[in-house]
Structure 1
Amino acid sequence: MIRLRRSNERGRANHGWLESQHTFSFANYYDPQQMGFSVLRVINDDLVHPQAGFDTHGHKDMEIISFVLEGAIEHKDSEGNVQTLPAGEFQLMSAGKGIYHSEYNPSSSEALKFLQIWIEPNSAGGEPSYQQNDFGKEVGLTTIASPNGKDDSMLIKQDATLYQLVLEANSEIKLQIESGRRVYLHQVVGSLAVNDAALVQGDGAKVSNESSVTLINTTQQRITTLIFDLP
């Protein structure tokens, strides 16, 4: 079964300095039919205006992934991490028993665009941790985060794996899905055919009870998709 989550149906928020689109229920946006998918709880498509950002705030027992699409993030947290994430980089912050952080757009002229992703951990508490990496744009599947750190990916506290898929124009890949697993696709750049369903930028697809799906780039440009393999 493939159920689509269209970009134009997502929840929206505009705080002046922040414009956000919520794939799942978040903050003041609530839809009982969109409370997440498996352990995937949040995908926020955020635009932060220049010289603005998220003030210091706390999280607990959540795996928080950021993927910078445009601009850069200045990150600071209570564990002493002070980092800059440019476009193309991923960050994974395991909140554990508790962590405080801030995220800021240092540019005086350019907007910051990034995806904020929350995945529920499989254990509570523990020490917070921070990881950051640029995985490039290699064609095919690249492992971004996994429970065992395979392929030099970031380590996540959940039986879930995040992949980046890059497809060249007019190419396809058949994605095999293990029995009992679910998959969520989020279209980042360009458009993608998932079997007979078409995704455009910002769209998502919930895949369950399928042994495989065929992913096809029918366009003339390179495209990027995030793929979540979930319990």
Structure 2
Amino acid sequence: MARLSNKTALITGGTSGIGLETARRFIEEGARVIVTGTNPDNIAEAQRVLGPDALVLKADAGDVAAQKGVADAVKARFGTLDIAFLNAGIADFGPVEQWTEAAFDRSFAINVKGPYFLVQALLPVLANPASIVLNTSINAHLGMPGSSIYAATKAAFLSMARTLSGELVGRDIRVNAVSPGPVRTPLHDRLGSTPEENAAIGDAIKAQIPLGRYGHSKEIADAVVFLASDEGGFALGTEIILDGGMATL
């Protein structure tokens, strides 16, 4: 299939995990892709995986000033943008008494503030029509202990999908969200301080998933392809939850 033929797509945090798999799926569907990341090794690997036609940029998702640089790079390379998948984010967990102001600000900068100003920076280059998909989280709906800040950032991001959908629909820009449950990515491998802690946390999370397994990056990427393509043309301000039943069973 070529559901994204002749489309140009930006994927933030696109050098690993869900972002990289989504970039791969977009290319399979005929899109030209731009991805961003910060880790030099991941950037090099993403360039290898996605091929020479992909534009791989180093950009800090939490740096407001850097967002205009991303938009400028998109305009210089492709002129306009049809799809933006705002996927970059961090997942820091801990009990309320351990949080510091600096850690709080870092989570909100990367997960909320930076992406918001990226949308602002992209407005002049977004095509008509265009699709924006935000990667939120099932944690926006759960009261999981230790997730207070992460869940708050994702709840803010989910609210942004709803409010921006109403604000931008007049420009024929659709804004929607995907809310994954636990997906085995490099992000989840850093939840603990040691491999043993990671394993213990992973087992505890898996026990909360009615389907009895972690999600796969491709399952999330396929939902993003749907929302980004003409097949999802009637989706506006909506949220696709892919959590193995965590929030409903």
TM-score by length of 1: 0.32
Structure in which a larger fraction of residues adopt helix: 2
TM-score in terms of structure 2 length:
0.30
